[in-house]
Structure 1
Amino acid sequence: MEGRTVVITGASSGIGRAAATELALLGAEVAVVGRNRERTEAVAAATGGRAFLVDYDRLDSVRELAAALLDAFPAIHVLANNAGGMAERAETPDGHDLTFQRNHLAPFLLTTLLLDRLRETAASAPEGSVRIVQTSSAASLSGRVRLDDLENRRGRWLGGWGAYGAGKLENVLLTRELARRLAGAGVSAYAFHPGFVATRFGGDGPLISALQRAFALSPEQGAQPLVRLAAAARVPAPSGNYFDRLRAPGRTARQAGDADLARGLWEASERLVSAR
C-alpha cells in the first residue's frame, strides 16, 4: 500500500479502527474519519494518519469533510464508507430520517463529492487499484427499499431494524449503481458483510454482551474483508459484487439485483442532497 491514500469513515473505533491500523502497517496513508475528536485523533496518532472530523447527522458537515479531503490529498486510491449503524427514530437537521441519513444519504453525498478525485487518481494508478468499499451487513437480507418511502415514515418501526436493514440494502444498491456508472473509468466498487463482530454497535446490555463473548468475531477479524478489498492487488470478483466476509457473490435480497431500483435510488438521493 506504499504511496496509496485510503479514506476510512467510522475509523475511530471497531472495524474502522482495526482496518486503519492494518492498512497503515501495510504502508498506506490513512485519512482517519470519525465523529468523536478524542478517539479519532488517537487513532490517527497511533497509525501515523491524519484525523478528519464529521457529523453524519448534518450534510453540511459531510460537504466540509469532502472539501478538507480534496484539499489534503491530490490522489485518493480507496474510499471506505464504513460509518453507519442503527439509530433512534428521529429527524436530522436536514429533515431526513436519522437512520437513512447515517447509513445511506451521508455516505452517498461523500462518495459523489469525491468521485472526480477518484477518477483522476485512476487515470495514473495501477489498473484496478482505485476502489470504493462499502461496509454493509447481512441485515440487508431483511431490508426493503421503497423509493416512495426512503425516509422510513410508513409501516412499523420494529425497534429500528427495518430502517437499518433498508440502509444496508441501499449500500448494496449503491455499490451496484457505482459499478455501472464507473465502468471504464478505472474505479471499482464493492460491498461486504463483516460478520457478527464485537463492536459498540449493539450496545452493552447483558444479552448483547453474552452473545458477543460466545459468538462474535473481534474487530480485527471483522475488518479483514475491508482490508483485503482495499489492499489486494486484484479483487477476485467483478466490480459491483457483494462479499459475505471473504466470499463473493454473497447472498443478497432479491431487490439487490434490481438495476432500475439502484438507478432510481441514485437519482432520488441526488435530489435529496441537493434540496436546501
Structure 2
Amino acid sequence: MTGRTVIITGGSSGIGAAAARALSALGAQIAVVGRNPARTQQVADSVGGNAFLADFGKLAAVRELADELLERYPDIHVLADNAGGMQRTRALTADRNERTVQETHLSGMLLTSLLLPRISQTATRSPEGSVRIVQTASAANLMGRISLDDLDTLSGPWADGWRAYGRAKLANILFAQELARRTEGTGVRVYSFHPGLVRTRFGSGAWSMSVLSAVTFGHYGLSAEQGAEPLVRLASADRITEPSGTYWDRLKPNGLTAPQAKDAAFARAFWKASEARLVPR
C-alpha cells in the first residue's frame, strides 16, 4: 500500500481504527475521519496520518469534509465508508432524516459522490482494480426491508433500533451494487462486507447489546482487529477476482442478503430516492 491514500470514515474507534493501523503498517497514507476530536486525533497520530472531523448527522459538515479531503489529497486510492451506528431511540437529524439512515447511509453516499471524480481520476493513473470503495455493511441486512415511502422508519415499532439498522445496512449493500454499475469501466471497484459480530462500542446504548455484553461478561464476538480484517483485505489485496458490487460475509464472497438486494431495478430506484434526500430541504 506504499504511496496509496486511504480515507476511513468512522476511523476513531472500533474496526475503523483497527483498519487504519493495519493499512498504515502496509505503507498506506491514512486519513482518519471521526466525530470525536480527541479519539480521531489520537488514531491519526498513532498511524502517522491526518485527522478530519465531521458530524455525519449534518450533511453540510459532510460537504465541508469533502472539500477538505479534495484540497489535501491529489489522489484517493481507497475510500472506506465505515461510519454509522444504531440508535436506541427514534430521532431526526437537522436535515430531517432519521439518524440511522443518514449517519449510516446518506452521509456516506454524499461523501462518496463528492469524492468520486477524484477517485475515478486516480483509477486512470493506477493499476487495474487497485482503486476501491469499500462499504461496511452487516448480516443485519437480512432483517431489512426498505420502503421507498418510509426511508425514515417512521411507521411500525422501533425494536431497540434494529429495524432501522437492518434497513441502513441493506442500504449499504444496495448502494455498493448500484455504484458498481455506475462506475463500470472506470477502473473503480466497489465492495461491501459484513465484519462479523464485533466486540466494540457498537450499539452500546441498545438494551439488546447491553444484555449480550452482560451475559457474556463482555467476551462475545470478535475483536476489532478481527472485524477489520475484511476491510483491510478488500482495500489492500493485489487482485480481487469477484466482480465489483460483491457483498462479502467476512472473507467469503456472495454473503446472504435480503431479497431486495437481488433486485437491480429496486437498487436504481433506491438510489434516486436517496439522492433526493441529499438536496437541502
Contact 1:197 1:212 in 2 (8 A): no
Q: Deviations over 1:34-67 (max 9, x none)?
A: 0000000000000000000000110000000000
Which of 234, 239, 245 is equivalent to 1:240? 245
Q: 1:147: which partner in 2? A: 148
Describe the shift of the 1:211–1:182 C-alpha distance in structure 2 as closer, same or farther (beyond 3 A). Answer: farther
Q: After TM superposition, give the deviation of residue 203 of structure 1 in Å.
A: 1.4
Amino acid at match of 2:239: R
Three-state SS of the structure 2 residue aligned to 1:75 is: coil
Q: Deviations over 1:91-150 (max 9, x none)?
A: 101111111101111101011011101100001111100100000111001101111111
Q: 1:4: which partner in 2? A: 4
Describe the shift of the 1:212–1:72 C-alpha distance in structure 2 as closer, same or farther (beyond 3 A). Answer: farther
Residues of 1 paired with 2:213 and 2:102: CA distance? Answer: 25
Contact 1:12 1:32 in 2 (8 A): yes
Amino acid at match of 2:118: R
Contact 2:197 2:222 in 1 (8 A): yes
Say whether 1:216 aligns with 2:221: yes
Q: 2:116: which partner in 1? A: 115
Greater Cα shift, 213-222 or 11-20: 213-222
Q: 1:101: which partner in 2? A: 102
Residues of 2 paired with 1:211 and 1:52: CA distance? Answer: 35
Q: After TM superposition, give the deviation of residue 212 of structure 1 in Å.
A: 6.9
Residues of 2 paired with 1:201 and 1:139: CA distance? Answer: 13
* Structure 1 gap ranges (5+): none
Residues of 2 paired with 1:259 and 1:100: CA distance? Answer: 20
Residues of 2 paired with 1:135 and 1:227: CA distance? Answer: 11
* Structure 2 gap ranges (5+): none
Describe the shift of the 1:48–1:144 C-alpha distance in structure 2 as closer, same or farther (beyond 3 A). Answer: same
Three-state SS of the structure 2 residue aligned to 1:240 is: coil
Three-state SS of the structure 2 residue aligned to 1:274 is: coil
Amino acid at match of 1:137: S
C-alpha RMSD over aligned residues: 1.2
Q: After TM superposition, give the deviation of residue 206 of structure 1 in Å.
A: 5.3
Contact 2:212 2:220 in 1 (8 A): no
Amino acid at match of 2:253: A
Which of 255, 258, 271 is equivalent to 1:250? 255
Number of aligned residue pairs: give it: 276
Residues of 2 paired with 1:102 and 1:142: CA distance? Answer: 19
What pairs up with 1:82-97 in 2 under 5 angstroms?
82-87=82-87, 88-97=89-98
Please report the TM-score for the alignment, with normalisation by the length of structure 1: 0.97
Q: Deviations over 1:204-253 (max 9, x none)?
A: 73532443744311000000000000000012311000000000011111
Contact 1:4 1:76 in 2 (8 A): yes
Contact 1:202 1:208 in 2 (8 A): no
Residues of 2 paired with 1:215 and 1:56: CA distance? Answer: 28
Q: 2:273: which partner in 1? A: 268
Q: After TM superposition, give the deviation of residue 275 of structure 1 in Å.
A: 3.3
Three-state SS of the structure 2 residue aligned to 1:197 is: coil
Residues of 2 paired with 1:209 and 1:224: CA distance? Answer: 26
